[in-house]
Structure 1
């Protein structure tokens, strides 16, 4: 991503246009929430639009189906269909699911909704919410180059979108300074001390890295899946320096910038809202893990897995009133096989996106959700999504975050129901032994059922 970007408007659609006015709970004023959060952990909440906890969070019916008599005819039929289709053998026996009418805050249907299962990449919804809230949607990450003791040091600033072209611009600026000082050779070092160890999370399989996720460091270029992304980025930077006519002495090494080092160049990333949008569309594990650590730092916590997940929990509960019953999070991407999140909690997070007061802060999550049939996203035809006889009717109508691990498939999002009202849904299954593509087809069928096109 370039830092020379045109900011696109967020919220290409905003559910809940016909919503009734929501009264905040008596103890939930915006200033009170922010004060509580700051006092608890010094989180700089980004937007004054954050008011009270979600009205959904106080809904006592979450996790249980509403009484049939309280539903209109279309919701009754949808709930009845879901009750049957959630028993699809492809989904196995361990399924958590919930559907909420976003306009009325009514739980239309629930099936083991409070049961905590491996959420896979649905965990990125929690990470994104915390990052945007703490850092703010317009935050940019900075990569610097400093000079001292005969060396140029590339300093990682947590920008997981840094490219070779960006390093080329940094090199050009740095070389101009070197030549002005009469220098024609230099050593190259990298400083990635922003992120302490460990670089791997609890619950990650050995087979994950470096392809599925790289060991988490503060410096990387072109999203390279390598064991040491920092040294790799330094090597790319060294090649750019050489291309500008400067001799690089020796191998790239690690260093820590000192007070006497002189800043010579810097690059700023695109705004966080664009990075979140990209991360969700492609379910980028590496971006998610970097955002977790940068969120921790901004909240005054160590840039570790533990620091980041602590901030996620605090933001969800103290700012938005999301229930964290049975919630366990060990990373930012959802790759950890120790993560556990109920469908009810995922739905509460998504329900925030239907409220206008959160549009400024969380709008890029809404726009970043893959759309059924959207090429280039994780719900695109290249992944075989929404292409069977039952679900293809929902192409273009379902906006949802995917999640896939061995033994876990999830789909959580929003769609406009047959009654014209926006529905928030979450489906998570663990333990099915059938082909993962068959499981995904069954999940797509459930989403199409919520939409009402699969009646």
Structure 2
């Protein structure tokens, strides 16, 4: 009998409503289990440990004990407080320039701020300079995947019958969200399909040929932040039952998944002969009869999960599916070329850009503040609703994902809380709580933040701040949060 499934901690997600006219974040439940951004920050680990106080949460108390998030995105047509051609607010350049000049942000910061509705540039500091983006590259990964595959695409794990070999073949479909429960359900359906054919026993093989012949190790090597990149794994190869954050990973996740599937088949009544063996992909996979299939959540949901949790494994999987959609090899080189092709198709500038991986763990990655902000503008285009999950998946400052423990005002106090000319102000970081939605990026010596912010007069801006050469991650994050908070407090209409 298979072991009982581990109980996962309950997680509440911020409810998000979307319409063709635009977006608005609904006040309501917020996520308390804080995941990690690239596994680099011990502060986020402590936050997660403090937040995850039990296996279940009192749903009746959430609304009374936590502040509701303010609306983050307003309708994308020009409207009250967000009229097209509102122009660059006086004083914004001085206010941001002072904050982004904080020594905590290292030797050089590149930055850009655009109006999300019109694409008008409001602020720039070397916006075309390529910098290590860390996990903010996931914004580009998400945009490319959605454009290539569409938000309704699902990743399929299948089981086929090899009649010649009298064996069951578990075919990895590149779905890192596959769980033990999913695999058990797939086994039950497989056993039932074989029983209808009068088959009570068979050997088992597994096929991982989808990804350029098999599994691939990230250039980081063996690392708790990412599993072997393979089209067949359960719970991202995690060994401790956790669902996010750095943790030891399986050495051979494909083999482990196949052995778990064998146990599931036996429990479902099929006699499994021998141990699972790796199976060479047939020349024509369609010749093998399909017995059962498991499909992931829609790609739009996967993108939201990837961005909110800064999920490295899911990011690499989405990058590879983007490459496969273009007929490229599902490896690092194929991913880089596929993402560049999608950027071309979307008309986004990528001079000075290098896509070395899809997750941002590789220090060879280079992005520009210009590309990141223009990617966010593209995601907000009312004529491209299929790209909207790039915006709805961004963590909400002070509430969800990798921003759950930030923008609390403890470390990001203003340098000058008096309004500057034209209504721009250097505001406390907590001014951005609920108003900023952004992807974080953290590597040693690198701190980045890119996303959207609603100003105090209702204008929605896209911003990207990329800092390198940082020595104190907490101080750098505080400085970035203060800059984003200043945008939230800006009278930019």
Are 1:174 and 2:212 matched, yes or no?
no
Residue 278 (structure 1) aligns with: 305
For residues 55-454 of structure 1, what are the structure 2 equivalents within 5 Å? 75-148=89-162, 149-196=165-212, 199-200=215-216, 204-206=219-221, 209-224=222-237, 225-258=249-282, 261-317=288-344, 319-358=345-384, 360-375=385-400, 377-381=401-405, 387-388=410-411, 389=413, 390-434=428-472, 436-452=473-489
Deviations 1:134-182 (A, max 9, x none): 1111111111111222321110112221111111111111112333444
- TM-aligned CA distance change 1:164 to 1:454, over 3 Å: farther
Q: For residue 189 of structure 1, report the CA deviation from its aligned partner.
A: 1.4
Residue 76 (structure 2) aligns with: 17
In structure 2, C-alpha distance between the alignment counterparts of 1:197 and 1:342, rounded to whole Å: 33
Unaligned runs of 5+ in 1: 1-6, 21-69
TM-score, length-scaled by structure 2: 0.74
Unaligned runs of 5+ in 2: 1-14, 25-72, 80-85, 238-248, 414-427
Tell me the secondary structure at the aligned position of residue 402 of structure 2.
coil
Deviations 1:370-407 (A, max 9, x none): 110114x11112x6766534211211100111111112
Residue 34 (structure 1) aligns with: none
Residue 37 (structure 1) aligns with: none
Q: More helix by proportion, 1 or 2?
A: 1
8 Å contact 1:413–1:426 — kept in the other structure?
A: yes
Deviates more, 1:193-202 or 1:135-144: 193-202
Deviations 1:211-250 (A, max 9, x none): 2111211111122232322112112211211222333322
8 Å contact 2:216–2:230 — kept in the other structure?
A: no
Q: For residue 185 of structure 1, report the CA deviation from its aligned partner.
A: 3.1
Q: For residue 198 of structure 1, report the CA deviation from its aligned partner.
A: 7.8
- TM-aligned CA distance change 1:241 to 1:88, over 3 Å: same
- TM-aligned CA distance change 1:10 to 1:18, over 3 Å: closer
In structure 2, C-alpha distance between the alignment counterparts of 1:310 and 1:220, rounded to whole Å: 25
Q: For residue 16 of structure 1, report the CA deviation from its aligned partner.
A: 5.7
In structure 2, C-alpha distance between the alignment counterparts of 1:143 and 1:453, rounded to whole Å: 48
Q: For residue 261 of structure 1, report the CA deviation from its aligned partner.
A: 3.1
- TM-aligned CA distance change 1:174 to 1:119, over 3 Å: same
In structure 2, C-alpha distance between the alignment counterparts of 1:247 and 1:387, rounded to whole Å: 60
Tell me the secondary structure at the aligned position of residue 341 of structure 1.
coil
- TM-aligned CA distance change 1:230 to 1:454, over 3 Å: farther
- TM-aligned CA distance change 1:386 to 1:252, over 3 Å: farther
In structure 1, C-alpha distance between the alignment counterparts of 2:223 and 2:209, rounded to whole Å: 20
Q: For residue 420 of structure 1, report the CA deviation from its aligned partner.
A: 2.4
Deviates more, 1:274-283 or 1:108-117: 108-117
8 Å contact 2:156–2:175 — kept in the other structure?
A: yes
Deviations 1:93-125 (A, max 9, x none): 121111122344332221222211100111111
In structure 2, C-alpha distance between the alignment counterparts of 1:385 and 1:96, rounded to whole Å: 25
- TM-aligned CA distance change 1:107 to 1:261, over 3 Å: closer
Runs of 4+ in 1 over 6 A off after TM superposition: none
- TM-aligned CA distance change 1:345 to 1:16, over 3 Å: farther
In structure 2, C-alpha distance between the alignment counterparts of 1:180 and 1:16, rounded to whole Å: 54
- TM-aligned CA distance change 1:385 to 1:284, over 3 Å: farther
Aligned-CA RMSD value? 2.5
8 Å contact 1:201–1:330 — kept in the other structure?
A: no
Matched residue pairs, number? 391
Tell me the secondary structure at the aligned position of residue 325 of structure 1.
coil
- TM-aligned CA distance change 1:123 to 1:145, over 3 Å: same
TM-score, length-scaled by structure 1: 0.80
8 Å contact 1:393–1:453 — kept in the other structure?
A: no
- TM-aligned CA distance change 1:220 to 1:10, over 3 Å: farther
Tell me the secondary structure at the aligned position of residue 116 of structure 1.
coil
Q: For residue 199 of structure 1, report the CA deviation from its aligned partner.
A: 4.6
Deviates more, 1:327-336 or 1:218-227: 218-227
8 Å contact 1:19–1:103 — kept in the other structure?
A: yes
In structure 2, C-alpha distance between the alignment counterparts of 1:16 and 1:83, rounded to whole Å: 29
8 Å contact 1:385–1:444 — kept in the other structure?
A: no
Tell me the secondary structure at the aligned position of residue 441 of structure 2.
strand
